[in-house]
Amino acid sequence: MEFQQLSLEQIRERLQEVEQNKADLEKALYERWNEAKSELAQRVRGMIEEHGYEAEEIMAMVMPRKRRGSGGTRAKSSRSYVRYVDPQNPENVYVRGVLPGWMKQKMIEQGYDPTVKSDREAFKTSYLQAVQD
List the one residue out of 81, 78, 110, 113 whose CA is nearest residue 99. Answer: 113
- pLDDT band for position 122 (cuts 50, 70, 90): very high
- Given a contact cutoff of 8 angstroms between Cβ atoms, the answer to whether 86 and 99 are in contact is no
Give the pLDDT confidence score for residue 67 in this predicted structure: 60
- pLDDT band for position 71 (cuts 50, 70, 90): low
- Given a contact cutoff of 8 angstroms between Cβ atoms, the answer to whether 93 and 85 are in contact is yes
Does the model's pTM come out above 0.75? no
- Residue 128 CB coordination number (10 Å): 19
Q: What is the pLDDT of residues 27-67, one digit of tens each?
A: 999 999 999 999 999 999 899 999 999 888 888 888 877 66
* φ, ψ (nearest 5 deg) of residue 112: -100, 150
Distance of CA 56 to the CA centre of its chain: 34
What is 11-43 written as a DSSP string? HHHHHHHHHHHHHHHHHHHHHHHHHHHHHHHHH
Give the pLDDT confidence score for residue 80 in this predicted structure: 83
- Give the torsion sign (CA, 28, 32, 38, 42): positive
- Domain ranges in the chain are 3-62, 82-132
Question: What's the average model confidence in pLDDT over 71-81?
Answer: 68
